[in-house]
């Protein structure tokens, strides 16, 4: 489905270049949930934004390629790239309330999906959210963290994308919402979709993932089967990755 071969991601600031990621190589297959564990500031958000060219090109330079089936995302024309982001690869970013325009109601985002009120209403019910007439008239600053997370995921899933990319999906939400999100992601996987998660939440990653990798010192480990990743022995991770993982516990 997706194959990333990124040699390096360089941040240019005040005429000084700094390598923030290097040797990023991994593949994503159908019907799988992948998690990337990493500390705050390790480059997790930079990693996922680099996959579809979401990084600011004035600040970041990406050397490499990302194949989406047989297409190189970095060589796509703008129209094709926008179509990809709209229907095939959907993101749910971490800072949820700021991802919405505070001057617009949630109805604006529902309308943008192109789906009718009836379809959205059914999804709202399944996400344990208020009725369409209530939620559509709210602004982002009137939402709790859990509501913003569920609405963002709902909107992302409406187009039935092939890949969902989630940045810290459990941050600032309670246990009940975490369980609901877990359920929705597992349902999404059953329908043929795949999920890529970047997170510091080890327990969530352990419960939901098929494979896990670790981001440390600007490098990404190989993705390991969930059963093997959490064993004390037999890990195929470099010692630096293993030590950093233990520090997160």
CA atoms within 13 A on the CB side of 71: 12
* In the predicted structure, residue 25 carries a pLDDT above the cut 90: yes
Share above pLDDT 70 across residues of the chain, in percent, rounded to a whole number: 91
| CA gap 129, 142 in Å, rounded | 14
Contact 184, 157 (CB under 8 A): yes
In the structure encoding, which two tokens stand for residue 220, read together? 């990404």
The domain ranges of the chain are 29-54+77-248
- So what's the pLDDT on residue 195? 97
- So what's the pLDDT on residue 71? 95
Pairwise pLDDT comparison (230 vs 233), residue with the higher score: 230
Cα diameter, the chain: 54
CATH code matching the domain that covers 29-54+77-248, chosen among 3.40.50.1820, 3.90.1150.10, 3.40.50.300, 3.10.450.50 = 3.40.50.300
Residue range 181-229, pLDDT digits in tens: 999 999 999 999 999 999 998 889 989 999 999 998 889 988 988 887 7
Pairwise pLDDT comparison (15 vs 36), residue with the higher score: 36
What confidence tier does 247 reach under pLDDT thresholds 50, 70, 90? Answer: low
What confidence tier does 167 reach under pLDDT thresholds 50, 70, 90? Answer: very high
Mean per-residue pLDDT over the chain, rounded: 88
CB atoms within 10 A of CB 133: 10
Mean pLDDT in residue range 50-59: 92
- So what's the pLDDT on residue 233? 43
pTM, two decimals, is: 0.89
Residue range 60-101, pLDDT digits in tens: 999 999 999 989 999 999 999 999 998 999 999 887 666 788
User: Per mean pLDDT, which range of 10-19, 146-155, 158-167, 223-232 is the poorest?
Assistant: 223-232
Mean pLDDT in residue range 156-160: 91
Mean pLDDT in residue range 44-55: 94
At a CB cut-off of 8 Å and minimum separation 6, what does 133 contact? none
- So what's the pLDDT on residue 236? 46
- So what's the pLDDT on residue 9? 94
* In the predicted structure, residue 240 carries a pLDDT above the cut 70: no
Pairing status of strand 33-37 against strand 89-92: unpaired
């Amino acid at each position: 489905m997706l194959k990333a071969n990124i040699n390096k991601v360089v941040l240019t600031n005040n005429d000084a270049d700094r390598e923030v990621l290097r040797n990023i190589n991994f593949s994503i297959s159908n019907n799988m949930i992948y998690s990337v564990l990493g500390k705050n500031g390790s480059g997790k958000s930079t990693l996922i934004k680099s996959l579809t060219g979401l990084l600011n090109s004035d600040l970041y330079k990406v050397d490499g390629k990302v194949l989406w089936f047989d297409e190189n995302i970095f060589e796509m024309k703008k129209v094709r790239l926008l179509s990809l982001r709209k229907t095939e690869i959907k993101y749910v970013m971490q800072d949820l309330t700021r991802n919405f325009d505070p001057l617009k109601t949630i109805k604006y985002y529902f309308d943008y999906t192109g789906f009718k009120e009836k379809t959205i209403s059914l999804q709202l019910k399944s996400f344990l959210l208020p009725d369409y007439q209530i939620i559509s008239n709210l602004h982002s600053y009137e939402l709790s963290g859990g509501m913003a997370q569920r609405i963002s995921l709902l909107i992302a899933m409406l187009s039935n994308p092939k890949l969902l990319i989630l940045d810290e999906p459990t941050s600032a939400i309670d246990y009940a919402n975490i369980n609901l999100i877990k359920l929705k992601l597992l349902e999404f996987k059953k329908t043929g979709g795949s999920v890529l998660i970047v997170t510091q939440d080890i327990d969530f990653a352990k419960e939901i993932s098929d494979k896990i990798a670790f981001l440390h010192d600007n490098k990404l480990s190989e993705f390991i089967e969930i059963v093997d990743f959490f064993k004390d022995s037999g890990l195929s991770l470099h010692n630096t990755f293993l030590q950093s993982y233990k520090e997160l516990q």
